[in-house]
């Protein structure tokens, strides 16, 4: 139980001693939790005012309802599909995010595109097998990149793609997005897919975007096109992507995210041709993770102190 008059904060993610010291005026409850079991988190939150979580810590309706004093859920992530936003809004709980990972994710996106286009995995395998066969790849310059989503990360990718000499287009249903010289948008996904040499996803996972890329969308792409996903695995129908790669409907895919992480050993996508899969490393740089943790702590302190933060999740 929190001391009378003290604010209790549950910490359900690893933090440095320096960040913990910034919260010395709170009663801290350290909860090593994750995965799908919410029991430990729910018990700790029963009398808590705030909680720090990451994307692998689910905060469902039952947890929120069972924490009547909860005022803020500060997540060290941009995605919020692990949090029941409807329940949070109904109970007056502020949800905050840490959108300071744009550069790291954009760098990875361009890296995956380059690896696919230049056939770098083929070259690495040739050398590892004792050979010296040079795979003939393609340039990024003069190719068309379609960004599905033009938020912070999509814009950061666009900046890098333009510097590489690419033609950049985007689709995004939101209004009021910033104009960027050399980037065009406004069409629909179905309209734009057929002209793209690269398709890269940068959208949240929600009811509207789940399985946004299905067999019909992959069939609409060029057979020479490459697909990249650094957003959330659930935005893609994974069986459809496996089919597209196996049947040659597209030329390759670079993935930082999957529907299940880690995937089961018998996941067919793992054996699909010309697919690069990395273990959700989009924000995995020391600088970015430190900045995200600091942002999460700052968000929590501001909300508990009655201040506004620009990183609150608003109703969609």
Active-site residue set: 232, 261, 280
For 245, the token pair is: 């790669």
Of 207, 176, 211, 233, give the one whose Cα is nearest residue 316. 207
Structure token pair of residue 64: 């929120």
The answer to whether 3 and 24 have CB atoms below 8 angstroms apart is no
Contact 146, 188 (CB under 8 A): no
Largest separation between any pair of C-alpha atoms in the chain: 71
Pick from 130, 51, 136: which is nearest to 95 by CA? 51
Cα 141 to Cα 254: distance, rounded to the nearest angstrom: 18
Q: Is 12 helix (H, G, I), strand (E, B) or coil?
A: coil
Contact in structure between 309 and 298 (CB atoms under 8 Å): yes
Strand partners, 228: 200, 254
DSSP 3-state assignment of 45? helix
- CA pair distance 95, 128, nearest whole angstrom: 47
Q: Which residues pair with 275 in a beta bridge?
A: 253
Q: Is the backbone peptide bond immediately before 262 cis, with ω within 30 degrees of 0?
A: yes
User: Edge-to-edge strands of the sheet including 198-201?
Assistant: 183-185, 167-171, 144-148, 198-201, 226-229, 252-255, 275-277
- SS3 breakdown of the chain: % helix, strand, coil, rounded to 5? 35, 15, 50
Counts for the chain of helices (H) and strands (E), in that order:
11, 12
């Amino acid at each position: 139980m929190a001391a009378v008059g003290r604010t209790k904060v549950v910490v359900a993610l690893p933090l440095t001693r320096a960040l913990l010291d910034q919260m010395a005026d709170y009663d801290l409850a350290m909860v090593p939790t994750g995965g799908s079991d919410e029991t430990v988190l729910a018990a700790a939150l029963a009398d808590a005012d705030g909680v720090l979580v990451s994307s692998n810590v689910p905060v469902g309706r039952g947890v929120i309802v069972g924490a009547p004093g909860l005022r803020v859920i500060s997540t060290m992530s941009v995605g919020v599909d692990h949090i029941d936003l409807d329940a949070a809004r109904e109970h007056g709980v502020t949800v905050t995010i840490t959108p300071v990972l744009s550069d790291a994710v954009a760098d990875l996106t361009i890296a995956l595109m380059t690896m696919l286009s230049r056939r770098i995995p083929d070259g690495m395998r040739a050398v590892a097998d004792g050979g010296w066969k040079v795979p003939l790849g393609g340039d990024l310059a003069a190719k068309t990149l379609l960004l599905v989503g033009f938020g912070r990360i999509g814009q950061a990718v666009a900046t890098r793609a333009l510097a590489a000499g690419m033609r950049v287009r985007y689709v995004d249903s939101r209004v009021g997005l910033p104009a960027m010289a050399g980037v065009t948008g406004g069409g629909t996904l179905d309209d734009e897919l057929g002209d793209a040499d690269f398709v890269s996803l940068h959208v949240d996972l929600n009811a509207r975007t789940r399985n946004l890329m299905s067999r019909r969308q992959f069939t609409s792409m060029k057979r020479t096109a490459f697909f990249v996903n650094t957003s959330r695995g659930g935005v893609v129908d994974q069986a459809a992507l496996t089919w597209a790669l196996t049947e040659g409907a597209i030329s390759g895919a670079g993935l930082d995210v999957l529907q299940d992480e880690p995937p089961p050993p018998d996941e067919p996508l793992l054996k699909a041709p010309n697919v690069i899969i990395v273990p959700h490393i989009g924000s995995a740089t020391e600088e970015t993770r430190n900045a995200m943790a600091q942002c999460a702590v700052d968000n929590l302190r501001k909300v508990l102190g009655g201040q506004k933060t620009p990183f609150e999740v608003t109703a969609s």
